């Protein structure tokens, strides 16, 4: 879609650069007829179009014109330092705060990383970007994203549809992050082929997760037995990232979160990193930072009152 354009709009432009050739698109196949030398020249330039689209998930008109008019010259765009993934519409996804950069560095040096921080601090988004990068770089064969299926203080009742329909609302934030980083068709293919798997935490039981980049999101909503079950799924050549916000536990009152006890037990184990993000890492609307600070202040006041 990126190469040929909507309704073959890019292809019509390409044909204008090669009027002596007959160029016909049939599905995902391009048939080219004409002089052999001209076909070879076309092939070189068209390959550059494909490479650009694969890298940036986009093909602006200026880039198309540059490549078609001078096939030996690559487009002037270059990577910004620290770019993790080139997302859709040319979006460059990178660590945007010091805390996110620490997370990126921790994942590069250790195989199990805990990223703990408030809402909006980019824990999940950065982790998903690192997973997509690992897949594109062929460092892993698959991405596995999981979350506890816990209602956020609401009783949603009986949801209609099949099992996937019932569970997808819990997993929507993971889909949203992936849609920023992959073309919709490519994402759908990867999910259909099992290269990207998105499932509730309960579905991890009994599995061995090897050659994979695995993310447990919203880990504060997992009980201690669930966290233990998840961590012991780790197989060979795997990266595990566990994200959570200890101030937003949605478990019932009689079910304590397993995240904090796990952190206490594993904090000093070699090969496991703990990255703590804070309000300075929040990259959503500026009011989110103020909301988080207000709630933190309230919690601190309550704690002081209880101690008195």
pTM to 2 decimal places: 0.70
Q: Which of 8, 24, 10 is nearest to 65 (CA)?
A: 10
Domain 88-307 has CATH 3.10.450.50: no
Give the mean model confidence (pLDDT) for residues 133-160: 79
Burial of 277 (0-12, 13-18, 19+ CB in 10 A): buried
**Residue 200 in contact with residue 221, Cβ under 8 Å?**
no
Neighbours of 174 (CB within 10 A): 23
Q: For residue 244, what pLDDT band results from cuts at 50, 70 and 90?
A: very high
> What is the reported pLDDT for 258?
95
> What is the reported pLDDT for 162?
62
Give the span between the Cα atoms of 42 and 14, in whole angstroms. 9
Q: For residue 128, what pLDDT band results from cuts at 50, 70 and 90?
A: very high
Q: Is the pLDDT of residue 207 over 50?
A: yes
Give the residue extent of every domain in the chain. Answer: 6-69, 88-307
Q: Is the pLDDT of residue 285 over 90?
A: no
Q: How far is CA 197 from CA 73, 131, 188, 253, in A?
A: 39, 12, 11, 31
Q: Work out the mean pLDDT of the chain and round it to a whole number.
A: 86
Give the span between the Cα atoms of 235 and 212, in whole angstroms. 8
Buried b or exposed e, range 23-43, using 16+ CB within 10 angstroms: beeeeeebeeeeeeeeeeebe
> What is the reported pLDDT for 88?
75
Q: For residue 96, what pLDDT band results from cuts at 50, 70 and 90?
A: confident
Q: Is the pLDDT of residue 78 over 80?
A: no
Q: Is the pLDDT of residue 79 over 60?
A: no
Q: For residue 76, what pLDDT band results from cuts at 50, 70 and 90?
A: very low
- Phi first, then psi: what are they for 230, rounded to 5°? -65, -50
> What is the reported pLDDT for 141?
96
């Amino acid at each position: 879609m990126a190469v040929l354009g909507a309704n073959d709009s890019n292809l019509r432009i390409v044909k204008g650069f090669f009027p002596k050739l007959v160029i016909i698109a049939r599905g995902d196949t391009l048939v080219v007829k004409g002089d052999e030398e001209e076909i070879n020249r076309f092939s070189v330039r068209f390959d550059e179009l494909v490479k650009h689209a694969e890298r940036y998930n986009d093909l602006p008109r200026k880039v198309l014109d540059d490549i078609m008019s001078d096939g030996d010259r690559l487009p002037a765009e270059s990577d910004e330092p620290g770019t993790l993934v080139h997302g859709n519409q040319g979006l460059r996804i990178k660590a945007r705060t010091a805390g996110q950069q620490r997370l990126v560095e921790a994942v590069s040096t250790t195989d199990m990383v805990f990223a703990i921080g408030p809402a909006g601090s980019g824990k999940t988004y950065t982790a998903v970007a690192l997973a997509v990068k690992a897949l594109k770089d062929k460092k892993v064969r698959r991405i596995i994203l999981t979350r506890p299926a816990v209602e956020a203080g609401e009783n949603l009742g009986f949801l209609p549809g099949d099992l996937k329909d019932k569970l997808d609302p819990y997993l929507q934030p993971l889909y949203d992050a992936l849609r920023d980083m992959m073309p919709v068709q490519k994402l759908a293919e990867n999910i259909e082929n099992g290269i990207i798997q998105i499932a509730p935490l309960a579905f991890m039981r009994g599995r061995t997760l090897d050659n994979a980049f695995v993310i447990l999101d919203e880990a504060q909503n997992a009980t201690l037995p669930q966290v233990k079950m998840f961590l012991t799924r780790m197989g060979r050549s795997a990266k595990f990232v566990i994200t959570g916000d200890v101030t937003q536990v949605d478990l019932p009152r009689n079910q304590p979160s397993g995240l904090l006890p796990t952190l206490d037990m594993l904090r000093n184990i070699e090969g496991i990193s703990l990255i703590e993000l804070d309000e300075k890492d929040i990259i959503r609307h500026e009011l989110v930072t103020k909301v988080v600070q207000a709630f933190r202040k309230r919690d601190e006041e309550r704690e002081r009152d209880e101690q008195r």
